[in-house]
Amino acid sequence: MLSSIIDAFKVPELRKKILFTLGILALYRFGAYIPVPGIPFNEFANSFSNSGVSMTMLDLFTGGALSHFSVFSLGIMPYITASIIMQLMQGVIPAVGRWAKEGETGRRKITQVTRYLTLGLGLINAIGYLLLFKSSAYGVVFTDQVPEVLTDIIVVFTLVAGTAFIMWMGELITQRGIGNGMSLIIFVSIVSRVPAAIFSSVNLQADFGMGIAITVLILIVVLACIPAIIFIERAQRRIPVNYAKRVQGRKMMGGQSTYIPLKVNAAGVIPIIFASCIIYFPAQLAALFNVGWLTAFADAVSTGWLNWILTVLLIVFFAYFYTSMVFNPEDTADNLRKQGGFIPGVRPGSATVTYIKNVIHRVTLPGGIFIACIAVIPTIIFYFSGNQLIQAFGGTSILIMIGVALDTMSKVESQLKMHNYDGFFK
């Protein structure tokens, strides 16, 4: 891999893309430490250190920007949520579905709507965070040198502008850099918290040697889990397909065999994101309205055994839901019929649709259970141990980091092959 990285920097075009990507990511990390106007640093830091698990997880995905209440406190999550919503709307709203089939023109329309939706979600999140931090749970008092209303407007505007700037940087990386910009921003946010988590894990124990031993043990377990996660992420169920021979003009077409690849974990980390949004939504409402029964319910579903059970059920449900949205057996069977293809032993038409649906259902279940276990088991261990390193290297974090790393390496490899160099995967 080291020789491949050296070869990558030998190509001027690829070197410019890599350096441009690193420069944008460095700018993002710099912005994570620029606070919004009027924030009392010490008071807010002390209040945030006593926050719950949900806020700690949100801070992890912003790379520590939320704990500093910086201009990038909202992170990239509003854009990710908007992108997921637009992707789901393609199967719900016919007009959006037609846009997805119109090529470049349709993609531009979807991108434009996604941007506006991102700003709308950012505005809602910004107002929510402002009210949350000013509530009795945190009690943060912003500067009193200007009217409170003006301060609130400035804070909300700054947070929304920060979200728009992050969205712009992510699109720049995707267009002019290497890899997917939004994914790389999340990757950098998670990785940036690892050194502090390691330091916290070492100092968690009264005995310094014991702290080092526990930290090393956690890192060894994480390294041992990475090959298993990669195996599941790359795993496929291949449905064989044969094509009948046919004469087209003067040529004999068809006659070859291929397959339909169905990933075991086709939904990726999206079920985890959806499940987290639903589970932590009562906590956000409780912070805003401060109602007794709502607060008790939010505390019950935010942590503990009820949280673990709901997380597993929701992740498996959304794994099925999202897979059904992105993979349409009817369209697949229709395309096979039009191209003269068929699955051996299965009649074309409705029988093919039923067969593909049954295979998807059988494949999605182990994939959903796997990502549910990856997401919940570290949460349970963190609940009993309080070790920040376990949270930093939680299942969601590992899935995101491995997925982004594999995707970026694949894109660098394709660039290298265009210039006659060996790629990463030899």
pLDDT score, position 2? 61
User: Is 150 a member of any domain?
Assistant: yes
Asked whether residue 150 falls in the same domain as residue 207, the answer is: no
Distance CA 183, CA 80 (A): 9
Asked whether residue 183 falls in the same domain as residue 305, the answer is: no
Using the 3D structure, point to which of 172, 192, 212 is the last residue of a domain. 192
pLDDT score, position 165? 92
Distance CA 367, CA 267 (A): 9
Q: What are 259-308's pLDDT values in tens digits?
A: 888 888 887 777 877 777 677 667 666 656 666 677 777 777 777 788 88
Using the 3D structure, point to which of 155, 176, 192 is the last residue of a domain. 192
- Where does residue 420 rank: exposed (0-12), middle (13-18), buried (19+ CB within 10 A)? exposed
Number of domains in the chain: 2
Asked whether residue 199 falls in the same domain as residue 166, the answer is: no
Q: What are 146-191's pLDDT values in tens digits?
A: 677 788 888 889 989 999 999 999 889 888 888 888 888 888 888 8
User: Is 408 a member of any domain?
Assistant: no
User: Is 414 a member of any domain?
Assistant: no
Phi/psi region, residue 368 (left: phi>0; alpha: psi -120 to 50; beta: rest), is alpha
Asked whether residue 238 falls in the same domain as residue 373, the answer is: yes
Asked whether residue 169 falls in the same domain as residue 212, the answer is: no
Asked whether residue 334 falls in the same domain as residue 231, the answer is: yes
Task: Give the pTM.
Answer: 0.76
Asked whether residue 176 falls in the same domain as residue 278, the answer is: no
Asked whether residue 298 falls in the same domain as residue 163, the answer is: no
Distance CA 301, CA 280 (A): 8
User: Is 406 a member of any domain?
Assistant: no
Asked whether residue 12 falls in the same domain as residue 60, the answer is: yes
Q: Would you mind telling me the total number of residues written for the chain in this entry?
A: 426
Using the 3D structure, point to which of 192, 222, 254 is the last residue of a domain. 192
- List, for the chain, all residue ranges whose pLDDT scores fall below the cut of 70: 1-5, 7, 41-43, 45-58, 60, 135-146, 204-208, 245-255, 277, 280-281, 283-292, 386-389, 391-396, 419-426
User: Is 421 a member of any domain?
Assistant: no
User: Is 287 a member of any domain?
Assistant: yes
pLDDT score, position 425? 52
Asked whether residue 235 falls in the same domain as residue 375, the answer is: yes
Asked whether residue 107 falls in the same domain as residue 242, the answer is: no
Asked whether residue 168 falls in the same domain as residue 208, the answer is: no
User: Is 372 a member of any domain?
Assistant: yes
For residue 266, the domain's CATH number is 1.10.3370.10
User: Is 225 a member of any domain?
Assistant: yes
3-state SS of the chain is CHHHHHHHHHCHHHHHHHHHHHHHHHHHHHHCCCECCCCCHHHHHHHHHCCCHHHHHHHHHCCCCCCCCECCCCCCHHHHHHHHHHHHHCCCCHHHHHHHCCCHHHHHHHHHHHHHHHHHHHHHHHHHHHHHHHCCCCCCCCCCCCCHHHHHHHHHHHHHHHHHHHHHHHHHHHHHCCCCHHHHHHHHHHHHCHHHHHHHHHHHCCCHHHHHHHHHHHHHHHHHHHHHHHHHHHCEEEEEEEECCEEECCEEECCCEEEEEEECCCCCCHHHHHHHHHHHHHHHHHHHHCCHHHHHHHHHHHCCHHHHHHHHHHHHHHHHHHHHHHCCHHHHHHHHHHCCEECCCCCCCHHHHHHHHHHHHHHHHHHHHHHHHHHHHHHHHHHHHCCHHHHHCCHHHHHHHHHHHHHHHHHHHHHHHHCCCCCCCC
Which domain does 388 fall in, by range? Answer: 193-393
